[in-house]
């Protein structure tokens, strides 16, 4: 009687746990790249921001006066007026700055060797600042109003609005000096508007 020989066939008859329907092996670990796709990648699902769900105070419905003010602020007239004021301030500052670094401010052609007084220099700086302010205000109002009208007509807000309004504004300003100047002004202002829009976006 060999006990070792008796146990050997019994142990061989017992199937492994996986073949007998036992627990399956654990799944492979989640890859880091797939996890990033769900967190910050293309498969990320944005969550809707609901202040009421977080215990916030819901905003009350807007009154007719508030709606009227919002419509007035979104109108083309308000945008043109705002651009006019901004252009006036910016143009005035630019004119005073350029006059401050210009050596010919207060220069008298009748007496070129006379040193201008501080009053004369300030007077010329003020005149140049007012002149630049007017020009910048007109250009700003024209561009803003034209862009608003074009955007309302097209129903889109993209770079084409700036290009079209820039061409119209530059052409209208340049046509005072002739057809060629108007075409050059249209192309130059359109290119400048496209560059500024591309930089801001």
Per residue in 69-127, pLDDT (tens digit) is 888 888 888 989 999 999 999 999 998 888 878 777 776 677 667 777 778 888 888 88
- The answer to whether position 4 is within a domain reads no
What CA–CA distances, in Å, run from 144 to 86, 91, 92, 187? 11, 16, 19, 18
| Structural domain boundaries enclosing 128 | 67-102+116-156
Residue 73 sits in the same domain as residue 126: yes
pLDDT at 161 over 70: yes
pLDDT band at 133 (very low <50, low <70, confident <90, very high): very high
- The answer to whether position 189 is within a domain reads yes
More confident residue, 10 or 162: 162
Residue 143 sits in the same domain as residue 168: no
Residue 136 sits in the same domain as residue 196: no
- The answer to whether position 22 is within a domain reads no
Question: For 133-144, what is the mean pLDDT?
Answer: 92
Q: How many angstroms separate the CA atoms of 27 and 35, rounded?
A: 15
The pTM for the full model equals: 0.60
Evaluated on CA atoms 167, 130, 99, 84, the torsion sign reads negative
Residue 167 sits in the same domain as residue 152: no
Residue 95 sits in the same domain as residue 73: yes
Residue 124 sits in the same domain as residue 147: yes
pLDDT band at 14 (very low <50, low <70, confident <90, very high): very low
Which pLDDT score, from 0 to 100, does residue 50 have?
A: 57
Q: Which of 103, 78, 83 is nearest to 143 (CA)?
A: 83
Q: How many domains does the chain have?
A: 2
Which pLDDT score, from 0 to 100, does residue 28 have?
A: 57
Q: What are phi and psi for residue 35, nearest 5 degrees?
A: -65, -40
Residue 167 sits in the same domain as residue 130: no
| pLDDT digit string, tens, across residues 43-71 | 666 665 555 555 556 667 777 788 788 88
- The answer to whether position 81 is within a domain reads yes
Mean pLDDT is lowest, of 33-37, 95-99, 127-131, 197-201, for 33-37
Residue 170 sits in the same domain as residue 92: no
């Amino acid at each position: 009687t060999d006990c070792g020989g008796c146990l050997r066939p019994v142990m061989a008859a017992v199937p492994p746990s996986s073949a007998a329907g036992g627990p399956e092996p654990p799944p492979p670990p989640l890859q880091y790249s797939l996890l990033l796709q769900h967190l910050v990648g293309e498969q990320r699902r944005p969550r809707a921001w609901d202040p009421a769900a977080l215990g916030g105070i819901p905003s009350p419905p807007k009154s007719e006066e508030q709606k009227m003010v919002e419509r007035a602020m979104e109108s083309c007239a308000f945008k043109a007026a705002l651009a006019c004021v901004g252009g006036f301030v910016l143009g005035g500052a630019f004119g005073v700055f350029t006059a401050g670094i210009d050596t010919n401010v207060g220069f008298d052609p009748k007496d070129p060797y006379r040193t201008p007084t501080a009053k004369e220099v300030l007077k010329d700086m003020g005149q140049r600042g007012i002149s630049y302010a007017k020009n910048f205000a007109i250009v700003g109002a024209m561009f803003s109003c034209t862009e608003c009208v074009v955007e309302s007509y097209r129903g889109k807000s993209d770079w084409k609005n700036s290009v079209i309004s820039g061409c119209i504004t530059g052409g209208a300003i340049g046509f005072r000096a002739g057809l060629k100047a108007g075409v050059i002004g249209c192309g130059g202002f359109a290119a400048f508007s496209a560059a500024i829009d591309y930089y801001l976006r």
